[in-house]
A and B are shown apart, each in its own frame.
Chain A
Amino acid sequence: MALLDIDEKILGVAAIADIAFWPIAVDTKLKDVEAMPDKSITLTLYNGAIRNSENEHVAKLLRQKSALVVAFGSCACFGGIPGLANVTNKKDLQDYVYNKTFTSVNPQGTIPQPKWDGPEGELTLPVMYDTVLTLEDVIDVDYFMPGCPPTTDQINGFLDVVTKHLTEGAALPPKGAVIASQKTLCDECGRTKEVTTIDKIVMPYEIKIDPKKCMLEQGIICLGPATRAGCGAKCLEGNQPCRGCFGPTAEVLDQGGSMLSALASIFKTADNETQLSEDEILELMTQIKDPLGTFYAFTMPKSIIKRKVKEKKAVTQ
């Protein structure tokens, strides 16, 4: 879809390229791709996280048939918002959807099976995975183009580079390059920063947001300090805080950890700081209601811990 956002430029793409496989726009079947010689597709823009066996199969097939593979968009790069499903697991999800919702009536406890022997022969469904994976988890990826969605500038810029490479032999970016900026979003954001501290976190609807001032300094959680620049601070322009769709900056592995650090540092120290107990500090930090969902909204499968686990022994809740 993001590709269609490049408007009439898409015609230029059609002029230089044959589209081999684009399920939402072009009616090619997987078996047509299977019949193609290896590496015969110049460029694959793969979007979406890896959530089931079919996703993995298509990713591997396209890798085999393509010279270049780009993880296109935040889901392919980091798991994206669907990656937040890693706070649960396949069993609990299926159980909820088929048995526990308000409208579920399922006395036999039927859930989809990946295989069924019917009179027509064996029917199959993709196997859903327990953990949402990123594209890089299952295949070798040449480039990463983050963004939810990637911007037209990123797409056009990259397509120009590939076109130049094909027509004039110009060099491609180094393998593994992220098609975005090397800087932090705050660097790109035009809001004024006064390096002040805060004592309170607020939700965007609770205050009248000053459109000129840094969101964080107004007490609104903005993932700018932990997010890679490249979008032109689009959300900030619309007076919305950044939610981090461009993923971590070049220097860090864990976007959430990096945001946690930034957010903890912007809190004012109290006058009676030395008298505060660790419990009181914890109380202060519980203003941040859902650290995992906030700091890793787009990157949980790419985070250091990646998914929720279970302690053997019952834990203190």
Chain B
Amino acid sequence: MSTQQGTSPAAVTATTEGQFEPKIIAFCCNWCSYAGADLAGVSRLQMPTNFLVLRAMCSARVDPEFVLRAFAKGADGVLVLGCHPADCHYIGGNYRTRRRIALLKMLLEQYGLDPDRLHLEWVSASEGVKFQSTIKDFTEKIREMGPNPLKEAEEESARVQGEPHH
């Protein structure tokens, strides 16, 4: 049985002392949203730098396991960005994505996480501005929500385990 591996999103941003800086993972599909992010970049659109882009060939390539691992490793928010309905390079990949994300949100809620920590957005290659506003709005929302409770839960449970009286 393998254990979890991979790099931690803790490396995404340096946290300024005392102030909460959200760590956000943005999965972008290769054909639309990654190009949209690129456009936002070359157009020098200003946006917060709290996010790390991971390119996937399709938003449907974003396995639910990737999202769960991002949260388990300390991401405060996860964005999945794909092509608009009817525009998927692989015809229907994004239709699967939206069903999965809906189910994942239900699951996250059952795990006690705010389902809004996961967000799906359609961003085309020409929508640099939409990419910018998505990042901006999402970062703000996560900033308000505060840190991902999973980290703290781990410490808390380790403490309660060893405690003789409850």
Q: A residues near B, CB below 8 A? A: 77, 87, 89-91, 94, 111, 113-115, 127, 129-131, 136, 144, 176, 178, 252-254, 256-258, 260-261, 263-265, 267, 269, 273-274, 276, 278, 281-282, 284-286, 288, 290-293, 295, 303-313, 315-317
Contact = CB atoms under 8 A, between A and B. Distances in A.
B107 A113 contact: no
Interface stretch (B33-41, B50-58, B91-99, B124-132): B91-99
Contacts, number: 148
Query: 6 nearest interchain CB pairs?
Result: A257-B64, A264-B99, A292-B110, A130-B160, A309-B153, A304-B68
A178 B92 contact: no
Given A264-B100, A285-B106, A313-B145, A304 B72 contact: yes
Contacts of B92: 269
Q: Which of B64, B92, B105, B120 gathers the greatest number of chain A CB atoms within 10 Å? A: B64
B166 A305 contact: no
A267 B86 contact: no
A90 B160 contact: yes
Contacts of A87: 110
B129 to A, nearest CB: 21
Contacts of B105: 282
Given A278-B101, A282-B102, 12 more contacts: A130-B160, A130-B161, A131-B157, A252-B65, A256-B107, A257-B67, A274-B86, A276-B85, A281-B98, A304-B71, A305-B68, A313-B144
Contacts of B152: 309
Contact of B114 (A176, A276, A288, A311): A311
A258 B102 CA distance: 15
Interface string B148-160: 0110110011001
A317 B116 CA distance: 11
B104 interface: yes
B2 A310 contact: no
B103 A285 contact: yes
Contact of A269 (B68, B95, B115): B95
A8 B59 CA distance: 54
B1 interface: yes
A307 B153 contact: yes
Contacts of A278: 98, 101-102, 120
Contact of B100 (A256, A260, A303, A312): A260
Given A87-B110, A288-B103, A144 B1 contact: yes
A256 B103 CA distance: 11
A131 B1 CA distance: 21
